[in-house]
Amino acid sequence: MQKHPLIIIPTYNEATNVIRMIHTLMALDMKVDILFVDDGSPDGTAERIKEQQQANPDRIHLIEREGKLGLGTAYVRGFEYALEHDYQLVCEMDADFSHPPEDVSKLIEAVQSGETDIAIGSRYANGISIVNWPLSRLILSYGANIYARWITGLPVKDTTAGFKCIHRRVIESISLDRIKSNGYAFQIELHFRAWKAGFRLQEVSIIFREREEGVSKMSKGIVREAIWRVWALKIRSLFGRL
């Protein structure tokens, strides 16, 4: 029997969000499995997840890591888990409800139907679809996406989107151990490597909302990594070393 799609959710100090997220995803019309990759959250996030696992041990999974190892490595570990456990459709999303859980099914259906290899939940596919962001954050994000598209040539308006569904064949074709980005640049690198490998990318418009609980993980280091990483990707691709 084919497995449900797997949703990978990295967590660090998301104790106020994970229980509600689990209940919301478990209540979707489309059945999904959930894999949390927790980076040793001191606020008890992993303990909250374990409590919920008791009711759904076959659909709620948890990988605990020691220390804050970063977004990129969390997703790579999640992808490895998906391949090891024979998942065909793999999704990424945040734990803080900035990505609307009710739109997961739209992303999954786009890949499941064969329309695309990666369905990206996009903030910029239909104008700007963001709620409650300060103007400075919006300018930073929008400008960063223009910058990334200009350098890489990616045919995607939301290059840094962290809400998506990916077919297994994409993950199998990308050398996970060669992905070096660890912040939001990870999303740019994943899209770029998939595109260069000949896979189809399709944007699906969503409404992105600023988190209501918890603290944003954005930092100057993440921004700096994205600035130089796009150049590294471009140069490597030009010399066939991607």
Query: Average per-residue pLDDT in the chain?
Result: 91
Structural domains in the chain (count): 1
Domain-located, residue 1? no
Structural domain range at position 46:
6-238
So what's the pLDDT on residue 171? 96
What tokens were used for 5?
Answer: 């799609």
**Neighbour-count burial of 52, counting CB atoms closer than 10 A to its CB (0-12 exposed, 13-18 middle, 19+ buried):** buried
pTM: 0.92
So what's the pLDDT on residue 156? 96
Instruction: Count other Cβ atoms within 10 Å, centred on residue 218.
Output: 13
What tokens were used for 23?
Answer: 């209940």
Domain-located, residue 200? yes
Domain-located, residue 100? yes
Domain-located, residue 25? yes
What tokens were used for 1?
Answer: 């029997």
CATH of residue 107: 3.90.550.10
Q: Residues 207, 131: contact at Cβ < 8 Å?
A: yes
Angle between helices 45-53 and 18-26 (to 10 degrees): 30
Domain-located, residue 50? yes
Task: List phi, psi (to 5°) of 154.
Answer: -55, 130
So what's the pLDDT on residue 229? 78
Domain-located, residue 40? yes
pLDDT tens per residue across span 52-97: 999 999 999 999 999 888 899 999 999 999 999 999 999 999 999 9
DSSP E strands in the chain: the ranges are 6-11, 33-38, 60-64, 89-92, 118-122, 130-131, 164-167, 201-205, 208-209
pLDDT tens per residue across span 126-175: 999 999 899 998 998 899 899 999 999 999 999 999 999 999 999 999 88
